[in-house]
Amino acid sequence: MPNRNPLILGWRERVALPQFSIASVKAKLDSGARSSALHVESLETFSRDGAIWLRFVLRIGRRHPRHVPCEARAHDRRTVIDSSGRSAERWFIETEIALAGLRFRAEISLTDRGGMLFPMLLGRSALAGRFVIDPALSYTLARPMLEKHP
């Protein structure tokens, strides 16, 4: 059921990816894109407990980049048409996103977004019913913080 009072966010915000211990990654919030995408530097598949898993590296930050090795169970593999109209097969994971005080699960494709300004794109499937995007706003939220566990 959609939220009757969705939060209003700007066209770009910082999100956290708790599963990978990433407290802040810049994301473009794009209601024109159906799916979400995350920039990965490398991507390989492997098998664990009879399932397909993905091993990849996330580059966080531009000025002082940090490379974060990650693993996640593959959720799906399907064709995606990018903003230039090109289609490509992409691997998808399902992971938790923390944004504006909410935590929710979303499907995210893993791809090379190295030529893009934002390492993450949050599409309408993840935004719908939770947020309204005001294109006049930008970085409306404080940087996300992950809870530290003892």
Confidence check: pLDDT of 149 > 50: no
Chain segment 66-113, per-residue pLDDT in tens: 899 999 999 999 999 877 788 999 999 999 999 999 999 999 999 988
Q: Count Cβ atoms below 10 Å from residue 57 Cβ, excluding itself.
A: 14
Domain that holds residue 17: 7-134
| C-alpha dist (Å) from residue 91 to 4, 11, 56, 148 | 33, 25, 11, 30
Return the closest-CA partner of residue 113 out of 50, 33, 48. 33
Euclidean distance between CA atoms 9 and 100, whole angstroms: 8
Confidence check: pLDDT of 144 > 50: yes
Specify if 144 maps to a domain.
no
Specify if 25 maps to a domain.
yes
Specify if 1 maps to a domain.
no
Euclidean distance between CA atoms 61 and 25, whole angstroms: 8
Q: Residue written as tokens 């990849």?
A: 56
Specify if 85 maps to a domain.
yes
Confidence check: pLDDT of 2 > 60: no
Asked if 109 and 39 count as a contact pair (C-beta separation under 8 A), the reply is: no
Number of domains the chain is built from: 1
Specify if 62 maps to a domain.
yes
Query: Could you tell me which residues are beta bridge partners of residue 71?
Result: 55
Pairing verdict, β 43-48 and 131-134:
unpaired
Chain segment 122-141, per-residue pLDDT in tens: 999 999 989 999 999 999 98
CATH of residue 29's domain is 2.40.70.10
Specify if 113 maps to a domain.
yes
- For 54-70, give the DSSP string: EEEEEEE-SSS-EEEEE
Specify if 141 maps to a domain.
no
Chain segment 46-61, per-residue pLDDT in tens: 999 999 999 999 988 7
> Where is pLDDT greater, at 4 or 31?
31
Specify if 142 maps to a domain.
no
Identify the band that residue 39 occupies on the pLDDT scale cut at 50, 70 and 90: very high
